[in-house]
Amino acid sequence: MSKKKGYVIPCSGIGKVFGSIGRETAYIVVNELAKDKADLECLPLIVKGKKEVIEALKENKIISIDGCPLKCSYNNIMDKVGRVDAQFMTTDIVKENRDLKPEPYIIPIGENTKELSKKLAEKVAEKINELLENKVEVE
Ligand code: SF4
């Protein structure tokens, strides 16, 4: 039985706090919460259609994280790979935690932004566990 992992692909949202939450979330998942089960991939390489990257994604689970309704991560993965196993929006975690208003700056990110990223990372890590346990879904 091949060992699958969950690829976490945040959008490239640059200069905005919602993009920063996506990136921070991905780092927390890959470096802390799902270390042995998750990996990152670079969205521009997917957009470019780099063969090895697309093949690796096809063989594993794919999780997109986007910072706005344009959904650059989700839409580009769908376009190049044809499948996304789970999608997350950083705006949702902000809506769900009205008491944690993300700070307007991103270097470094603020405490609330960090906390929101942790909360989203917990959801993403939980989803990766679920996806990797569900052997029926992709083969
Ligand atoms: S989804 Fe929105 S925030 Fe993310 S890269 Fe696209 S335009 Fe930027």
Q: State the total domains in the chain.
A: 1
51 domain residue, yes or no: yes
Identify which of 66, 87, 89 to mutate to test ligand 1's pocket (most ligand atoms within 8 A of the CB): 66
Q: What is the pLDDT of residues 98-135, one digit of tens each?
A: 999 999 999 999 999 999 999 999 999 999 999 999 75
The per-residue pLDDT of the chain, averaged, comes to: 94
Q: Find the mean pLDDT for residues 59-85.
A: 98
Atom of ligand 1 nearest to the CA of 68: 2
1 domain residue, yes or no: no
133 domain residue, yes or no: no
Instruction: Evaluate whether 100 touches 112 at the Cβ level (below 8 Å).
Output: yes
pLDDT at 135: 54
Contacts of 49 (CB under 8 A, 6+ apart): 80
Using the mean position of ligand 1's atoms as its centre, give its distance from the Cα of residue 110 in Å: 20
Enclosing domain of residue 40:
6-128
62 domain residue, yes or no: yes
Residue 90 reports pLDDT greater than 70:
yes
Q: What is the pLDDT of residues 28-63, one digit of tens each?
A: 999 999 999 999 999 999 999 999 999 999 999 999
Using the mean position of ligand 1's atoms as its centre, give its distance from the Cα of residue 68 in Å: 5
136 domain residue, yes or no: no
Using the mean position of ligand 1's atoms as its centre, give its distance from the Cα of residue 88 in Å: 13
Q: DSSP secondary structure string, 47-109?
A: HHT-HHHHHHHHTSEEEEEESSTT-HHHHHHHHHTS--SEEEEHHHHHHH-TTSPPPS-BTTB
The strands making up 61-66's β-sheet, listed across from edge to edge, are: 38-40, 6-10, 61-66, 86-89
137 domain residue, yes or no: no
Tell me which H or E stretch contains 13.
none
Atom of ligand 1 nearest to the CA of 22: 4
pLDDT at 138: 45
- pLDDT band of residue 136 (cuts 50, 70, 90) is very low
Q: Is the peptide bond before 108 cis (omega within 30 degrees of 0)?
A: yes
- pLDDT band of residue 81 (cuts 50, 70, 90) is very high
What b/e string do you get for 97-108 counting C-beta neighbours within 10 Å, with b at 16 or more?
Answer: eeebebeeebee
139 domain residue, yes or no: no
